[in-house]
A and B are shown apart, each in its own frame.
Chain A
Amino acid sequence: MTPTLDHLLAPDIDRQWSDGFILALRLRGVPGHLIGEALAEANDHVRVSGRTAHDVFGPADDYARTLSLPPGRTQSRGRLAASVIPSVLGVAGCALVLWTIRATRAGGEHLITMGALVSTAVILCSLIVFGLAASWFLEQAVHANKALIFVACVVWMALVLAPVWFLRDTIGALPLWTGVGAGVLLLLVSSGMYVTVTAIGDPLTPPVPPADGARLGTLTSTRWIRITLALIFPLVTAILGALFLLV
């Protein structure tokens, strides 16, 4: 099994502790290279002392808090927003292509209702807000009351679905090739941004470059993450589109 990057940085630390430590520092906006250093230093102490990370440092979350490492610039809103835009375009492109194909299969043009427009706007705005305050949302997901999270999700789904149900006035129609063409264009722009523009997070980096090539290969694998992300929306659209046409 290929070891993950955090395991390479802390091979002697219990995986649950290191995962909790990384998550706690990520939620505080600490840059990847500082997390890598803190993890490697903790690993060195654990390795030499022969004790567990929990014995030496206490709970991972408490230790992450007491270290008081500074948040980095990589968490700036502009950068987070830039990383959300490809997802927004991908969702919009996928939805446009599939809705148009389904409407055409049903025997007509894709009729655009006011409700569909409002729902789309709610989804896009939600993605943008999530991108701007991703750390806050993740922190709530980890620490907030689970019942409260469930209620928030139900309210959000109601906000998305209610307009489709109540606002059924048609405000326009989209011919097949116009809808599919616009959707494919959005998908292409989304994929292009994933490959060229988007920063894939802020990867953990080791304080000392690894000596062997195999490990270095694993550490630089974010290029493959970019390519995989770039292919997700087009693949999902192609599979669902084919299903719509065949079924």
Chain B
Amino acid sequence: MNEEKDRTSPEAWPSEWLRGCVELCTLRAIADGPTYGYAIASGLESSGFGSIKGGTLYPLLTRLERAGWVSTTWGAGDGGPGRKFYHLTPAGVDHLAHAASDWTRFANLVTDYLTHPIDERH
């Protein structure tokens, strides 16, 4: 039953909300320094976004790289064949700053709309 679903659980966020912000949050995760796929996914999960599937994350990282916002290097992994590290490019830093600013304005707009009585808006 939907009513019985734990609304505080990260897994409860509607997928369409996550689709709208996962790119921005991934760029933010990479902004903290060179990082790799699993670290990005687990960082987003521990921040409360829920589990980000590899089938969502890696195609997104490929698109960010193709857009020129992210660059990559390969290093040694934990005993595996290698680990791919992601870095923000200068263009990625600019894009993140603008997108984060726009998102904040949009989130404030939604919050404002949802929390104020209808008759106070006009």
Range class of the A interface residue count: 20 to 34
Beta-carbon contact of A208 and B55 below 8 Å: no
Contact of A41 among B37, B41, B63, B76 (CB under 8 A): B37
Looking at the assembled complex, report how far the CB atom of A245 sits from the nearest CB atom of chain B, in whole angstroms.
51
Contact of A56 among B54, B82, B84 (CB under 8 A): B54
A11–B81 CA distance with the chains assembled, in angstroms: 8
Beta-carbon contact of A44 and B58 below 8 Å: no
Beta-carbon contact of B55 and A44 below 8 Å: no
Looking at the assembled complex, report how far the CB atom of A134 sits from the nearest CB atom of chain B, in whole angstroms.
26
Looking at the assembled complex, report how far the CB atom of A222 sits from the nearest CB atom of chain B, in whole angstroms.
18
Beta-carbon contact of B81 and A8 below 8 Å: yes
Among A57-65, A136-144, A163-171, A178-186, the stretch in contact with B = A57-65
Q: Which B residues touch A12, using CB under 8 A?
A: 80
Contact of B55 among A40, A62, A68 (CB under 8 A): A62
A107–B49 CA distance with the chains assembled, in angstroms: 83
Beta-carbon contact of A57 and B81 below 8 Å: no
User: Please, which residue of chain B has its CB at the minimum distance from the CB of A209?
Assistant: B82
Beta-carbon contact of A45 and B81 below 8 Å: no
A209–B24 CA distance with the chains assembled, in angstroms: 33
Given contacts A67-B62, A68-B59, A208-B82, contact A44 B77 (CB under 8 A): yes
Q: Does A93 contact B (CB under 8 A)?
A: no
Secondary structure call for the A interface: helix
Q: Which A residues touch B59, using CB under 8 A?
A: 66-68
Interface string of B49-70 (1 = CB under 8 A from A): 0000111001100110000000
Interface string of A116-140 (1 = CB under 8 A from B): 0000000000000000000000000
Q: Which B residues touch A49, using CB under 8 A?
A: 38, 42
Interface string of B63-91 (1 = CB under 8 A from A): 10000000000111111111110000000
Given contacts A66-B59, A68-B62, A208-B75, contact A40 B81 (CB under 8 A): yes
Where the two chains meet, the residues of A that have a C-beta atom closer than 8 Å to any C-beta of B are 8-12, 37-38, 40-45, 47-49, 56-58, 62-63, 66-69, 206-208, 210
The 7 closest A-B pairs by CB, nearest first: A208-B82, A56-B54, A57-B54, A207-B74, A40-B81, A66-B59, A48-B38
Where the two chains meet, the residues of B that have a C-beta atom closer than 8 Å to any C-beta of A are 36-38, 41-42, 53-55, 58-59, 62-63, 74-84
